[in-house]
Amino acid sequence: MEKDTIITLEDNTNYALLDETIIEGRKFFFAVKIDNKTQNPTTEYEIFEEEQEGEDVYMNALEESDFKQAILIDFTNNYMHMVGELMEEAE
Amino acid sequence: MENSIFEELYEEDYKRVDLEQNKVSKMYKPKDNEKTGNFYMDDDNNFYPSGNILDEDNKEYYEQFFDFDIEELSNMSKEDIEIEPAKITNGSIEKGRIKLKEKEEVIEETQTEKIVEEPTQNNEELENSKKEMLEKTDAIKEKTEERIEQPRNDETIEQDNFTKTNNNIEIEEPEILEEEVQDKTIENIEIKNDISFDYYGKTEIENIQKELLKNITELKYSFMEHQNKIKQKKEKIYEIFKTMPPLDPKWAKTNQEYNKENYRLNGINNIINSDNFKTLLDIENTINNISIEHNKETKKYHITSKINPYELAQRTSKILSAIANDVNKQDLGSEEFVNSITNKIQQINNNMKKLYSKFGYTDLYFEIKNSYDKINYLKNQINHWKELEKIQGKSYEREINEALYEIEVTKNTIKSKINNLPEEEKNKITNIDDVKNIIKEIENNKEPIGKEKPKEQEYTVEEPEQEYNDREELINAIKGIVSTIDLNAKAEEINQKLDLIEKHLIELNKIDQLAFEDKYNNAKTDEEKQQLITERENQVESYRDLLKHENKEIEDLLSERFNPLIDKFKSEIINKTKDNPEIPKEDPTKETEEPQQEIPKKGRLKVIATKALKWMKEHKLAIVAIGLAITTALFVIPTTHMMINSALWSVGTKLGWNASTLGKLHSINLGLSKSVASGAYAFEEISGAYTLGGAVGAQALYGAGAANLVAAITGLVGLGTVGTFGASIINKIKNRNKKKEEPQQEIPTEKPIEEEVEVIEETKDKEKEKEVENEKSTPLTKEQIAEMIKSEIEKAVAQKNEEISKLTVENQNLREQIEMLKQQGLSTEELEEEQVRSL
């Protein structure tokens, strides 16, 4: 699974994968829930851990924890990079 | 005297570290002499003699820097002597003074006696006099600082009255031996007083003792030094980092470097504060406390220690390995440091070996132990063959005779090697408990070669060859063996029983695991599977109950031996199921790896469809900014405040905001930071997170032009008011930029996300739109933009106040945690550091 993908989960919810990071070999995504009707992003955000089992891919939503906050730092850093890149393009 | 003269004559040797007081004093040694004339110097450039001032060889060095009368001091103990340190001031050396504290009558008498006794006539008398003087030095008890050369010649070494004089091994005093055999605990073994050393031997031990203390000090110093290096590096990065605008391409890298150094600092702190390190300090203390008593009658030295030197060396080696392992596991940022630690550990181990070999633990000792193991192995073999003879009716006489012969040869080799040792060495080695026991065993088990039957072994291990297929039988067999373990039995008997228990445990686990796998693979739901795993884990846990014993020591022995095995069973429960075919079986010899960190999860859902998404970067930025603002809202990320300030600074200055506006914006964020320390924690952190959103949004604003305003606005207010304010600002900036460029994108509307862009809510606030329209004709000044952003930040924060204060109640636990940290006396900086650490 890669970022910039919309995934549909087995409970029929859709998420846009905004960003990804790999920590100790485990892959995490920063995702926003997509409204099924309007197809627009909502204000429900999740951090998922990807789990691969054979052909199947599962998403584990993380609960609040120190670890989740640590991952957020990573996503924040990525975000700052994105901003930086955009600036360079603009210039 | 010029300082350069001191430097010409002396060089720094090593640093003496007092970890408790965090003080380091430098040791100096003469360039032309390794052993004598040493000094140490404190932070104020005061220096003191570190060796024995009465030693002739030291005297010539100390006289250069201290005034003292060797005769006056010769009979005094350390407590009676006062040292005024020599001092280096402005490049010159002020001479110090070594003198008596008070002159008492007793001292004077001794002095007189000493003067009368002092012979100077001939070499022999001189030698005796020197020896006497050195013996008195011993009374001063500066064990760690004494440095006495070895001027003895063979003639002056007296015969050891304590050494045995006959050349045969004698097994004497059985009652004492019995006592010693029983007292075999590692703790509190004292070096027997019947091992004595002459002056030469004593000096050698003192030198090794000093060398060891020096090695350990250097090791500790290396850790402290590296700890300081990391600390300084971290502070340096922080200094750069806090003034660095986040738009600087190096920002993220610097942030990572800071985190890395912080991680390293925690790593080395953990090692220094670890139990292993504390044990090392205990060991240092034990070495320091090795005491040397002089027996005036025999003129021999008896050395006692809390712990037998061989056991001490083993323990030290174990602790040092654990420390080395900790060092290797951590990324401490310097290969050089790791190598130097490895070398220092090696030096300590080598010196430990030197030390224990002085007490008879020589290569021969280990050879004797190996030979003894060999004898026992052969004896067991003989018993085994005898059993086979009974069962098979076949004769094993040839094998038995060969084994008996081999036993006899090995015994004789041991005896002859011991008897051929020099008397003193023989005395040392035969005083070691193990060797005493071995000799006793050898003497008590005389078995004529191949003629008489060897003694029946006192034990038999229950049916070692029997295979149990029934788990109940296995459980009973394990319990049965456990109940028969006796610590007074021979080591090999106990080992055989332990091996058999292990075999049965593995078999039991195999039966249970197969049954579990069968059920697990047939289970239909995840809940069912989870239930089975829990049951199986409990089952493995119950194996520990089989190892219970009324004797605590035996139970500890069993736990120590089998807990790792049972833990391994547990870790393998799920790995062997069909659901995990890709997981390779673990190598049983390999140490179990650390379990992955448990991350709390809400639940797991399968991905059933995916779709590629085409982003417009600006909108993605906006969505991520909102996301970060929301998901960081309730927690502390210490760099948040730095990021906000830097972002504000960067955007503000580039837009040309005036100092007043910038100051106001900063004050919002700074207020938040300060409040963290004052206790109003959750509230401000949430506000901070919203402000963060604003800040990062503001960067996007500046960086990508008007189209990025959506990001800026969404970031600014976090939630709720996105659309309204976003639209108004977009329009205003668009107007401002009209002359320069055409707008890159339209204002986002509610387009389906997969078509092109994820669109932020469009404004519905008509009043705001009107306001925007009114302002279209008048391009905004930079100050106006800044003022608007500022007022919106304030408004957004204010709007959230009520909501936030509710959340603060919910975060009571977090508050309590902070209060606790504060009670522990942490400053604001430490508090923030603590948060970094906890992350």
pLDDT value of position B687: 34
Q: How far is the first Cα of chain B from the last one, in angstroms, to the nearest whole number?
A: 57
Out of B252, B612, B637, closest to residue A81 by CB: B252
pLDDT value of position B547: 87
pLDDT value of position B784: 54
Which residues in A lie closer than 8 A to residue B247 (C-beta atoms)? 83-84, 87
Query: pLDDT grade, residue B486 (50/70/90)?
Result: confident
SS (H, E, C) B347-366: HHHHHHHHHHHCCCCCHHHH
- Ramachandran sector of residue A53 (left: φ over 0; alpha: ψ -120 to 50; beta: rest): beta
Cβ contact, residue pair A79, B624, below 8 Å: yes
User: Is B606 an 8 Å CB contact of chain A?
Assistant: yes
Cβ contact, residue pair A82, B596, below 8 Å: no
Nearest by Cα to B219 from B355, B316, B354, B331: B316
Per residue in B735-786, pLDDT (tens digit) is 433 433 433 333 333 344 443 333 333 434 444 444 444 444 344 444 554 5
Say whether pLDDT at B695 is over 80.
Answer: no
Q: Residues B565-588: what's their mean pLDDT?
A: 63
Q: Residues B802-824: what's their mean pLDDT?
A: 56
| The B96-100 sheet, strands edge to edge | B66-67, B96-100, B81-84
Say whether pLDDT at B151 is over 50.
Answer: no
Q: Residues B657-665: what's their mean pLDDT?
A: 41
Cβ contact, residue pair A47, B631, below 8 Å: yes
Structure tokens, B547: 């190892």
Out of B628, B752, B838, closest to residue A76 by CB: B628
Say whether pLDDT at B242 is over 60.
Answer: yes
pLDDT value of position B814: 53
Per residue in B15-42, pLDDT (tens digit) is 665 544 556 667 777 777 666 667 777 7
H/E run at residue B156: none
- In this prediction, what percent of chain B has a pLDDT beyond 70? 51
Which residues are bridge partners to B37 per DSSP?
none
Report field, pTM of the whole predicted structure over 0.80:
no
Cβ contact, residue pair A73, B608, below 8 Å: no
Of B227 and B804, the structure prediction assigns the larger pLDDT to B227
User: Is A23 an 8 Å CB contact of chain B?
Assistant: no
pLDDT value of position B433: 76
Query: pLDDT grade, residue B796 (50/70/90)?
Result: low
pLDDT value of position A48: 93
Of B313 and A87, the structure prediction assigns the larger pLDDT to B313
Nearest CA in chain A to B695: A80
- Which of A4-8, B45-49, B314-318 comes out lowest in average pLDDT? B45-49
pLDDT value of position B124: 52
pLDDT value of position B397: 84
User: Is A22 an 8 Å CB contact of chain B?
Assistant: no
Q: Can you tell me the distance from the alpha carbon of B336 to that of B317, in angstroms, rounded to the nearest whole number? A: 22
Per residue in B553-562, pLDDT (tens digit) is 888 888 888 8
Cβ contact, residue pair A9, B750, below 8 Å: no
Determine contact, residues B110/B75, Cβ cutoff 8 Å. Answer: yes
pLDDT value of position A31: 93
Query: pLDDT grade, residue B671 (50/70/90)?
Result: very low
Q: Residues B558-579: what's their mean pLDDT?
A: 78
Q: Residues B572-584: what's their mean pLDDT?
A: 58
Nearest CA in chain B to A5: B612
Query: pLDDT grade, residue B250 (50/70/90)?
Result: confident
Burial pattern A10-44, b for ≥16 Cβ within 10 A else e, equals: eeeebbbbbbbbeeeeeebbbbbbbeeeebbbebe
H/E run at residue B30: strand B23-30
Nearest by Cα to B629 from B757, B716, B721: B716
A43, A58, A75: best to mutate for the B interface, most B CBs within 10 A: A43
Say whether pLDDT at B259 is over 60.
Answer: yes
Q: Can you tell me the distance from the alpha carbon of A65 to that of B599, in angstroms, rounded to the nearest whole number? A: 7
Structure tokens, B569: 């069973």
Q: Torsions phi, psi of B27, nearest 5?
A: -95, 140
pLDDT value of position B110: 38
H/E run at residue B608: strand B601-612
Determine contact, residues B711/B700, Cβ cutoff 8 Å. Answer: yes
pLDDT value of position A8: 93
pLDDT by residue for chain A (91 residues), tens only, comes to: 888 899 999 999 999 999 998 876 788 999 989 888 888 788 788 999 999 888 889 999 988 776 776 777 778 777 777 766 666 665 5
Per residue in B269-301, pLDDT (tens digit) is 888 888 888 888 888 888 888 877 777 777 777
| B781: three-class secondary structure by DSSP | coil
Q: Can you tell me the distance from the alpha carbon of B528 to that of B491, in angstroms, rounded to the nearest whole number? A: 47
